[in-house]
Copies of this chain bind each other. A is one copy, B any other.
């Protein structure tokens, strides 16, 4: 096993991963056939940085600015006002679901194809306010290694995120090696437009699914049709998915990332209004979650740290 997971420190968390994969790969009672090796990951805060707010919220902010250029009356209307003034406390105070619903609905009237182009362009140019790095550079290197390792062991890796599916699909293949059809996320309803030869899907303002908490499990049923054997999350939004994963028969694993690394990334849990970690932290032992400490279990956080 030497050489796997180089950005994970040698210790309990890394050993737990290697032991789990060894156990389900070897002939015996813990064996899991390759077709059943389904691994699910949250995205914001599990695979990349979500501080001071999720990249998609910054993306929505840039869209709000464009819309306000065309219609200045938006500047006085909430929640546009909070977004346009970069008023972080006001945005946080809206709470996770309201912020994401706004961030999804703000792209209504754009086709899925055009949205993908717009999102890619934004990701290529926008930078994080603190690190001045592109958001796609703020991917956790240990998680890239973990997903690559799991895939090499026959796993299929899926993202199951409260973030917008179309937004994550714009970079998941290139950055994570995860194809669009393995990205499950929040969605708005669409309308099929048939403008002669166009035939495209138009994004509407109406929410179809806010893929958080119980909905993550329902969407795993809808999209994957099998119970995962491995889950990785970092907030109460991932709690149901992690418990659902562990509740199947046979050997399973659910890991919970704790952001306790103020020096290299951030230290936060229950106070983060845009995705709090409270119950999953308090009851981690009871539920059988394996805690992962960013500070103690990861050798490096980002590739650019190395």
Contacts and interface: CB of A to CB of B under 8 A. Distances in A.
A208 B226 CA distance: 18
A114 to B, nearest CB: 13
A203 to B, nearest CB: 9
B198 A221 contact: no
Interface in A17-68: 35
A303 interface: no
Interface in A190-241: 190, 192, 194, 197-201, 208, 214, 217-218, 221-227, 240
A274 interface: no
Number of copies: 2
Nearest to A172: B225
Interface of A: 35, 112-113, 156, 158, 165-166, 169, 173, 179-183, 187, 189-190, 192, 194, 197-201, 208, 214, 217-218, 221-227, 240, 243-244, 246-247
Given A180-B225, A198-B247, 9 more contacts: A35-B173, A113-B227, A158-B181, A165-B222, A165-B225, A189-B218, A192-B240, A197-B247, A201-B217
Contacts of A221: 112, 190, 201
A200 B218 CA distance: 10
